[in-house]
């Protein structure tokens, strides 16, 4: 395996994060409940992890601010534009798979 410096690793991880966020913005057709049911995380989880990292480093980032970073717009705007009502089957699957920390 290629040895990476700490700076390279950080830069590559940041680039991968930015690409993931870009991909999720492009795929607004994929609902958060679909992500949760298939992968166990969603856009909101990603924004929470971002906020937790910022807060751990002493940066006071709010839930709304971190969501806007991930969604590319205020969360309420994204919901109005892209969120659809989940089917009863998707809701039931979510409840059955729901992790204890959500």
Residue ranges per structural domain of the chain: 30-97
pLDDT tens over the chain, length 102 residues: 899 999 999 999 999 999 999 999 999 999 999 999 999 999 999 999 999 999 999 999 999 999 999 999 999 999 999 999 999 999 999 999 876 655
- Is the model's pTM score more than 0.85? yes
The answer to whether 71 touches 63, Cβ cutoff 8 Å, is: no
Catalogue the long-range contacts made by 14-21 (C-beta closer than 8 Å, 24 or more residues apart).
20/46, 21/46, 21/69, 21/70, 21/72
All residues at 6 or more sequence positions from 43 whose CB lies less than 8 Å from its CB, including other chains: 24, 32, 35, 67, 70, 71
Locus of tokens 């920390």: 101
CATH class of 30-97: mainly alpha
């Amino acid at each position: 395996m290629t040895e990476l410096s700490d700076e390279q690793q950080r830069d590559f991880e940041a680039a991968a994060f930015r690409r993931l966020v870009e991909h999720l913005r492009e795929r607004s057709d994929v609902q958060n409940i679909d992500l949760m049911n298939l992968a166990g995380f969603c856009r909101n989880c990603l924004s929470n992890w971002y906020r937790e990292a910022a807060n751990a480093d002493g940066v006071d980032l709010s839930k709304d601010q971190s969501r806007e970073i991930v969604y590319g717009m205020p969360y309420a705007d994204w919901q109005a534009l892209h969120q659809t009502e989940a089917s009863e089957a998707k809701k039931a699957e979510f409840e059955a798979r729901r992790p204890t920390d959500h």
